[in-house]
Amino acid sequence: MAQLNVDLVAADRKIWSGRAQRVTAPAADGEIGILADHSPLLSVLREGSVRIVAEGESLELRVTGGFLSVDSNQVTIVADSVESVPASR
Amino acid sequence: MAGSQRVYKQRIKSTQSLKKMFRAQELIAASRIGKARDRTAAASPYARAITRAVSAVATHSTTQHPLTSERTDTNRVAVLVVASDRGMAGAYSASIIRETERLVERLVAEGKEVALYAAGRRAISYYSFRGRTLAGTWSYGSDAPNSEIAGEIADALLGAFLAPVAEGGVSELHIVYTQFVNMVTQRPRVVRMLPLEVVEGVAPAGKHDVLPLYDFEPSPEAVLDALLPRYVRSRIFSCLLDAAASELAARQRAMHTATDNAEDLIRNYTRLANQARQADITQEISEIVSGADALAAS
């Protein structure tokens, strides 16, 4: 199954990057879920939590805003600030 | 004659302690350059992501945004000088201020009124000493800027750009900063930040010759609204980071030269001290010999 390449970056550093099955993010009009082969999308993010479900791990981070772009399985989440450090469960 | 020997010894001693200080400054600057360049590298994924997104929006929508359109209602322009907080960096601050003066002169010749914004204590003290009014000042750790200070500067400047004429709105924003080329070359550079020219961003990576047709959520306008201020912030942040790396490189080089000069001085003074000592000895010998001669003659 195709996977997503996810990059999560904040203004001054890269926070997480890797392959994931599913990403959910707080888009402007409501929570948005992204699976592989999603159509290209550029969205503004509200304050909320971003969840990344990857092989064997999943992480949840609070972001205070930013934007999200999806383009041929490349997901880039640009966050203004990320509140909790990634902790794998 | 013993007096001149003592004077030389004193000078050697003080030059030696100066040399130690210069050496320490040089080593501090050298160790911080690595960190400054790491910070630049850490910020670049964000800058890349945002530039790519901005160019995607710009190529797929014809939306006009206040930040990309020229303002014709005022001839006030803003100039942001990015200088250092401390000296001891050779010509770093002087050359950035000279570049700023040149830009200001050019803008004034074009009939524009310049509002100066200064970041870094050296620029602030330069202009306040000369009684020039500064529209905004920031002094922060200029060799280690963070994204909050970049956000603060960007917010103030965007505020000025979007403000109505009566409240001191400006029609352009220029930034004067020092570009870090490599360890030996740092170049003062002027960029026009606002109104934005997104054209330069439209250079997507080779494999994507055509950017995909994006869905915009909630709307292209809203996305552009959210993106452009972040783009400006990220550009200003990268200017600050570049300036920080340049400052440290300039300081390292200046301190290296100062250490070398101190070594030269010490060498010269040592020679002079040796000469003085030799002269003392010669004089003493001739005094003794002439004393002995006088005794033998009597």
Q: What is the pLDDT of residues B269-295, one digit of tens each?
A: 999 999 999 999 999 999 999 999 999
Nearest to B248 by CA among B256, B238, B236, B260: B256
Query: Cα distance from B111 to chain A (closest Cα, Å)?
Result: 37
Higher pLDDT, B168 or B281: B281
Nearest chain A Cα to B213, which residue?
A40
Same domain assignment for residues B14 and B94:
no
Average pLDDT score over residue span B155-159: 91
* Radius of gyration from C-alpha coordinates of chain A: 12
Of B45, B147, B230, the CB nearest to A7: B45
Distance in angstroms (rounded) separating the CA atoms of residues B82 and B179: 11
- Tokens (6 digits) for A77: 């989440």
Q: Judge whether A77 and A23 are in contact, CB under 8 Å.
A: yes
Over residues B204-237, the pLDDT tens digits come to: 444 445 556 778 878 878 888 888 888 899 999 9
Residue B70 counted as domain residue:
yes
Same domain assignment for residues B198 and B55:
yes
Percent of chain A residues past pLDDT 90, beyond the cut: 13
**pLDDT of amino acid B62:** 66
Over residues A26-53, the pLDDT tens digits come to: 988 889 999 988 888 888 898 888 999 8
3 state SS for B128-141: HHCCCCEEEEECCC
Same domain assignment for residues B100 and B194:
yes
Same domain assignment for residues B8 and B139:
no
- Tokens (6 digits) for B156: 């103030």
Average pLDDT score over residue span B30-46: 90
**pLDDT of amino acid B2:** 67
Residue A84 counted as domain residue:
no
DSSP H or E segment with residue A10: strand A4-10
Percent of chain B residues past pLDDT 90, beyond the cut: 52
Residue B6 counted as domain residue:
yes
- Flag whether the ipTM exceeds 0.85: no
Q: Which residues of B touch A6 (CB under 8 A)?
A: none
Same domain assignment for residues B153 and B133:
yes
DSSP-derived 3-state class of residue A86: coil
Cβ distance of A7 and B49 shorter than 8 Å: yes
Residue A89 counted as domain residue:
no
Number of domains in chain A: 1
Of A11, A42, A71, the CB nearest to B223: A42
**pLDDT of amino acid A28:** 83
Residue B87 has pLDDT above 50, yes or no: yes
Query: Cα distance from B260 to chain A (closest Cα, Å)?
Result: 37
The answer to whether A14 faces chain B, any CB pair under 8 Å, is yes
For A30, which DSSP code? E
Same domain assignment for residues B150 and B288:
no
Percent of chain B residues past pLDDT 70, beyond the cut: 93
Q: Which domain holds residue B266?
A: 2-24+259-292
Residue B64 counted as domain residue:
yes
Same domain assignment for residues B148 and B57:
yes
Q: Which domain holds residue A12?
A: 4-79
The answer to whether A43 faces chain B, any CB pair under 8 Å, is yes
**pLDDT of amino acid B66:** 81
* Radius of gyration from C-alpha coordinates of chain B: 29
- Tokens (6 digits) for B285: 């010998």
Residue B127 has pLDDT above 90, yes or no: yes
Number of domains in chain B: 2
Query: Cα distance from B218 to chain A (closest Cα, Å)?
Result: 6
Taking the whole predicted model, whether its pTM rises above 0.90 is answered as no
Nearest chain B Cα to A11, which residue?
B46
Residue A48 counted as domain residue:
yes
Distance in angstroms (rounded) separating the CA atoms of residues B146 and A73: 32
**pLDDT of amino acid B210:** 57
| CATH number of the domain to which A19 belongs | 2.60.15.10
Cβ distance of A12 and B218 shorter than 8 Å: no
Over residues B41-51, the pLDDT tens digits come to: 888 888 888 88
Same domain assignment for residues B100 and B157:
yes
Residue A88 counted as domain residue:
no
Residue B195 counted as domain residue:
yes
Nearest to B193 by CA among B180, B170, B175, B178: B175
Residue B202 has pLDDT above 80, yes or no: no
Q: DSSP for chain B, please give it.
A: -HHHHHHHHHHHHHHHHHHHHHHHHHHHHHHHHHHHHHHHHHHHHHHHHHHHHHHHHHHH-----TTTSPP-S--EEEEEEE--SS--STTHHHHHHHHHHHHHHHHHHTT-EEEEEEESHHHHHHHHHTT--EEEEE---TTS--HHHHHHHHHHHHHHHHS-GGGT--SEEEEEEEEE-SSS-EEEEEEEEES--GGGG----TT-SS----EEES-HHHHHHHHHHHHHHHHHHHHHHHHHHHHHHHHHHHHHHHHHHHHHHHHHHHHHHHHHHHHHHHHHHHHHHHHHHHHHH-
Same domain assignment for residues B168 and B146:
yes
Higher pLDDT, B87 or B102: B102
Top mean-pLDDT range of B13-27, B159-173, B207-221: B13-27
Confidence band for B147, pLDDT divided at 50, 70 and 90: confident
The answer to whether A41 faces chain B, any CB pair under 8 Å, is yes
Same domain assignment for residues B282 and B142:
no
Q: Which residues of A touch B208 (CB under 8 A)?
A: 71
**pLDDT of amino acid A55:** 82
What is the residue-averaged pLDDT of chain A? 85
**pLDDT of amino acid B200:** 46
Average pLDDT score over residue span B66-77: 83
Angle at B246 between CA B198 and CA B100, to 5 degrees: 65
| CATH number of the domain to which B175 belongs | 3.40.1380.10
Peptide bond into B204 cis (omega under 30): no
**pLDDT of amino acid A89:** 44
Residue B297 counted as domain residue:
no
Query: Cα distance from A80 to chain B (closest Cα, Å)?
Result: 9
Residue B10 counted as domain residue:
yes
Residue A87 counted as domain residue:
no
Average pLDDT score over residue span B168-183: 89
Same domain assignment for residues B94 and B10:
no
Same domain assignment for residues B20 and B154:
no
Distances from the Cα of B98 to the Cα of B91, B103, B177, B185, B244, angstroms: 10, 9, 11, 17, 18
